[in-house]
């Protein structure tokens, strides 16, 4: 059994592996609610992330349906929390 099988729920495991294999640091995921969260990425990486997900689904003749949201929390002028959240439909 590998790390992904031990730690990531089956419905979302393949996407988490693809994201991590391509340099995106995921920090949380849920197969029941079909989401992945991770460290925030810059604009260039947003396009790269979208292309990666879109091409993955398209290669399986599936319609890619997802939402990518960025969260940034600023306190006293400093970024204290930031991450991305991907939800699949």
CATH number at residue 78: 3.30.70
pLDDT of residue 41: 67
Name the domain count of the chain.
Answer: 1
Report, as an integer, the average pLDDT of 20-26. Answer: 94
Q: What is the pLDDT of residues 37-76, one digit of tens each?
A: 998 767 778 888 999 999 999 999 998 899 999 888 899 9
pLDDT of residue 39: 87
Supply angle C-alpha 25, 10, 22, rounded to 5.
30
- Rounded to the nearest integer, the mean pLDDT of the chain is 91
User: 77: domain range?
Assistant: 3-88
């Amino acid at each position: 059994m590998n790390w992904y099988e031990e730690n990531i729920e089956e419905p979302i495991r393949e996407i988490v592996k693809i994201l991590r294999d391509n340099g995106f640091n995921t920090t949380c995921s849920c197969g029941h609610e079909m989401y992945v969260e991770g460290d925030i990425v810059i604009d260039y990486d947003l396009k790269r992330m979208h292309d990666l997900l879109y091409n993955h689904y398209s290669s399986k003749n599936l319609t890619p349906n997802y939402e990518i949201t960025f969260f940034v929390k600023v306190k006293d002028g400093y970024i204290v929390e930031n991450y991305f959240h991907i939800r699949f439909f």
